[in-house]
Amino acid sequence: MIATHIRQAWQLLRQNKLFSTIYIVGTALAIASTTIFAIIYYVKLTPVYPESNRYRMATIDRVEQKDDWSSMQSSLSYSSIGQFKNNLKSAELISAYQRLWGGNRMTFNDGRRDRNVTLRPTDTAFFKIFNYDFLAGAPFSDVDFESGVRKAVISDRLAEEVFGSVDEAVGKTVTVDFRKYDVCGVIREGSAINRHSFADVIIPYTVFDNYAGNNDPDTYTGKYKILLLTDDLPAVQAEIKEMERKYESSHPGKELNFWNQPQSAAIDALGIDPVDEDFDLGKFVRYNFLVLLTLLLVPALNLSGMIAGRMESRSGELGVRKSFGATDGSLMSQVLWENLILTVIGGAIGLGLTWITLSTDATFVLSIIGEKWFDFNSAATVRLTPDMMFAPAIFLFAFGVCIVLNLLSAALPAWLALRRPIVKSLK
């Protein structure tokens, strides 16, 4: 029976070219717009390269320190990194990187124009938290880090742009903010959507003279972000609370506040403010699901109107089928199947549109939809690799959206048409 439905859907498609084209284009646009969001969230939330430890990763972004006269919120101090390493026993690995404000300029001495780069001053644990593919060379070592040697790991895209190829880069020098760095490794670039792991140039933060700030153990505010790996996030959060309690008991009149940090990488990627201690993930997901449904409802209503018109013209057919023994259920199933075929064709085109658009200029597309992925002032363009765009989850999502769109657009007109008495349908 399904084969007959498919044959008929194909005939309907051929015989009603205008209807089919409008329907398919409408569906394609709806699928494309929702799939772009799906790809962004897929890249943000699942363990894509190089964030393969994402389900175990957590972040500490901000701290608040206040007393009777002042209050300060900012990133974390160098000394706090040591405090975390001493106190967070449930964290398997802790890394920190400096948050830089303002653009970082790469300059060339061969007449080429300067360019912005995303510079990531960090430590060696950074390369254990993120599993970068080293296409050439290796990360800077613990000794390099401790001694503040100016070494740099650069992205393959930058290596190709600056040196012509990945293989040529190691051993050469790059100049960022008028400091020269010896390239020690080249990594396969991740996506700029992932603001922690993405970088054009990764260097030891110890190259900066003032990397330790005042190094006062009682000062928690500074310029670092903390990344950690753990299998027991609540335990780490409890350990942080204990740090707060100890600080406040030994510093009467002062307050230290990490809110509900560390946040899981997922919560962090969703841009949830750590200050929002009442945040409810379930509510957030439900809300966004409703937003998605509402977004789909608009094209679904348009498509529904078109289908209602077509059901009117197919009224006789429904009457004939009922005369020969079709039940309302079997006819509803037929209409949904036929429509699903059109929707799936639209969905496939929508997926294709998504891929073409994102492959051509993902940065532009994401800027249109207001997606903020830049942590720093950078010339980074968003690269989405095939494993991100062609992930089975994306196919499943797109197919799911097709089903929802199909049900939303076809079920009501079909139901209304099927309620009509057979005799009226046959007139």
Q: Per rule CB under 8 A, is residue 328 in the interface with another protein?
A: yes
φ/ψ (deg, to 5) at 137: 70, -155
Please give the distance of CA 339 from its chain centroid, rounded to a whole number. Answer: 32
CB of 61 to another protein, least distance (A): 59
CB of 409 to another protein, least distance (A): 19
> Whose Cβ is closer to another protein: residue 327's or residue 359's?
327
Site for another protein in 257-316 (CB under 8 A): 316
253 Ramachandran zone, left/alpha/beta (phi>0; psi -120 to 50): left
Between CA 179 and CA 69 the distance in angstroms is 40
CB of 328 to another protein, least distance (A): 7
Q: Are 245 and 251 in contact (CB under 8 A)?
A: no
164 Ramachandran zone, left/alpha/beta (phi>0; psi -120 to 50): left
CB of 341 to another protein, least distance (A): 13
171 Ramachandran zone, left/alpha/beta (phi>0; psi -120 to 50): left
Q: Per rule CB under 8 A, is residue 12 in the interface with another protein?
A: yes
DSSP line for 24-45: HHHHHHHHHHHHHHHHHHHHHH
Q: Per rule CB under 8 A, is residue 422 in the interface with another protein?
A: yes
Part of the chain binding another protein (CB under 8 A), chosen from 145-153, 323-331, 339-347, 401-409 = 323-331
CA 73, 76, 78, 79 torsion: positive or negative? Answer: positive
Part of the chain binding another protein (CB under 8 A), chosen from 3-11, 155-163, 181-189, 381-389 = 3-11
> Whose Cβ is closer to another protein: residue 6's or residue 412's?
6
Which of 270, 321, 349, 367 binds another protein (CB under 8 A)? It is: 321
Which of 326, 340, 341, 389 binds another protein (CB under 8 A)? It is: 326
Beta bridge partners, 227, equal 59, 95
CB of 418 to another protein, least distance (A): 10
CB of 12 to another protein, least distance (A): 5
Residue 12's contacts (CB-CB under 8 Å, 6 or more residues apart) are: 20, 338
Which of 297, 407, 412, 426 binds another protein (CB under 8 A)? It is: 426
Q: Per rule CB under 8 A, is residue 320 in the interface with another protein?
A: yes
3-state secondary structure of 286: helix
Beta bridge partners, 419, equal none
Between CA 155 and CA 321 the distance in angstroms is 63
> Whose Cβ is closer to another protein: residue 306's or residue 404's?
306
CB of 158 to another protein, least distance (A): 57
What is the contact surface with another protein in residues (CB under 8 A)?
1, 4, 7-8, 11-12, 15, 316-317, 319-330, 421-423, 426
